[in-house]
């Protein structure tokens, strides 16, 4: 939603998540991947040794990474000098220290949200409401909340912290604040983002909510409370995840542990039943993927069949 609001500005180019910097962060100098089709351990050590021979050492490496990204980002605005490029890729939170070194002067927008709302949205958007499958695939709360809190705690780059709940309550005030941090004038079209033409098309972000509205809405602020209030198992699972997070991190992102469950325990939470999910082709597709993935994990014959299908596809697609 926030990406679409920003992209509606005449001076900002947004678009689907490009993930340009995530793999760049794991080439070996700052960090390395756990597995690769090359000897990533040897490559990491060799690159570190090479970088130490450069006149500026790591500063030269960060500058090289910056030049790579500048060339690609610049291609988006080559015909429109003065426009800003917005890269909204959630996984950047996990490599934020690296990005801060590459782009120490970039403007950062740190969007935070209630942890339970984050996981509810994630599980419903990509796993058809299967909390166990969602957590097994990616324990996002344990990974992202400390990472976001780290960005805010370090406070080493120009940033504005945007709480999701406050943004949807007063979108104009927050968009004016964001525009001020970007040194661009506020434009009313940013609020009514549904009326703006999306230049870049759709990408890999959440496909289930933002398309339903043309402007920010508070409908989803306490949607998680209705869901968890109606399902004790889901509440226990989310509670267990949040219990693993440092209370100081929760405080920094704006959701202190002491007030975390107020919406659920109060009259607006548990008493309201969760809304039934609406039917859509996307939801049917996600449900099929969840079921097939689980079947592939538990059925050796099915895994063997998938392997044969993959082999056939590789042969057919071979140049």
**DSSP per residue, 60-113:** HHHHHHHHHHHHHHHHHTTTSTTPEE----GGGGGGHHHHHHH-TTS-EEEEE-
> DSSP state, 278?
P
Q: How many CA atoms lie within 13 A of 11 on its CB side?
A: 9
CATH topology of domain 2-278: Rossmann fold (3.40.50)
- Residue 270, pLDDT > 50, answer no
Q: How many CA atoms lie within 13 A of 141 on its CB side?
A: 28
The span from the CA of 246 to the CA of 239, in Å, is 13
Contact 164, 111 (CB under 8 A): yes
Contact 226, 273 (CB under 8 A): yes
The residue extents of the domains of the chain are: 2-278, 280-319
- Residue 210, pLDDT > 80, answer no
pTM listed for this prediction: 0.82
Mean pLDDT value across residues 187-194:
90
Q: What is the pLDDT of residues 134-149, one digit of tens each?
A: 999 999 999 999 999 9
Contact 275, 226 (CB under 8 A): yes
Confidence of residue 206 (pLDDT cuts 50, 70, 90): low
Q: What is the pLDDT of residue 271?
A: 43
How is residue 196 written in tokens? 């703006």
Q: What is the pLDDT of residue 302?
A: 86
Q: What is the pLDDT of residue 42?
A: 94
Q: What is the pLDDT of residue 209?
A: 52
Report CA-CA distances (Å) from 267 to 77, 118, 224, 270, 281: 50, 21, 14, 7, 34
Contact 250, 260 (CB under 8 A): yes
Q: What is the pLDDT of residues 74-131, one digit of tens each?
A: 999 998 888 999 999 999 999 999 999 999 999 999 999 999 999 999 999 888 889 9
Q: What is the pLDDT of residues 242-269, one digit of tens each?
A: 999 999 999 999 999 999 998 886 655 4
The span from the CA of 288 to the CA of 126, in Å, is 11
How is residue 319 written in tokens? 């140049």
Contact 72, 20 (CB under 8 A): yes
The span from the CA of 196 to the CA of 147, in Å, is 32
């Amino acid at each position: 939603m926030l990406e679409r609001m920003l992209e509606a500005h005449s001076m900002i180019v947004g678009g689907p998540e490009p993930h340009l910097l995530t793999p760049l962060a794991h080439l070996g100098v700052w960090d390395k991947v756990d597995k690769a089709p090359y000897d990533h351990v040897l490559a990491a050590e060799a690159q570190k040794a090479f970088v130490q021979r450069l006149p500026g050492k790591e500063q030269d490496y960060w500058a090289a990474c910056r030049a790579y990204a500048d060339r690609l980002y610049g291609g988006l605005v080559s015909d429109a000098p003065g426009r800003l490029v917005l890269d909204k890729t959630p996984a950047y939170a996990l490599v934020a220290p690296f990005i801060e070194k590459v782009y120490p002067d970039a403007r950062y927008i740190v969007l935070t949200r209630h942890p339970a709302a984050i996981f509810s949205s994630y599980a419903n958007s990509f796993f058809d409401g299967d909390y166990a499958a969602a957590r097994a695939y990616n324990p996002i709360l344990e990974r992202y909340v400390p990472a976001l809190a780290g960005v805010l705690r370090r406070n080493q780059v120009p940033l504005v912290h945007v709480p999701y709940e406050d943004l949807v309550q007063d979108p104009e005030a927050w968009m004016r604040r964001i525009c001020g941090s970007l040194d661009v004038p506020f434009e009313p079209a940013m609020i009514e983002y549904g009326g703006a033409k999306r230049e870049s098309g759709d990408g890999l972000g959440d496909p289930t909510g933002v398309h339903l509205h043309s402007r920010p809405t508070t409908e989803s602020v306490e949607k998680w409370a209705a869901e968890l209030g109606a399902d004790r198992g889901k509440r226990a699972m989310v509670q267990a995840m949040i219990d693993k997070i440092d209370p100081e991190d929760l405080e920094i992102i704006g959701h202190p542990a002491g007030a975390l469950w107020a919406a659920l325990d109060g009259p607006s939470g548990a008493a309201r039943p969760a809304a039934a999910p609406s039917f859509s082709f996307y939801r049917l597709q996600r449900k099929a993927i969840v079921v097939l993935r689980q079947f592939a994990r538990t059925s050796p014959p099915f895994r063997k069949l998938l392997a044969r299908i993959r082999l056939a596809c590789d042969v057919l697609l071979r140049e």
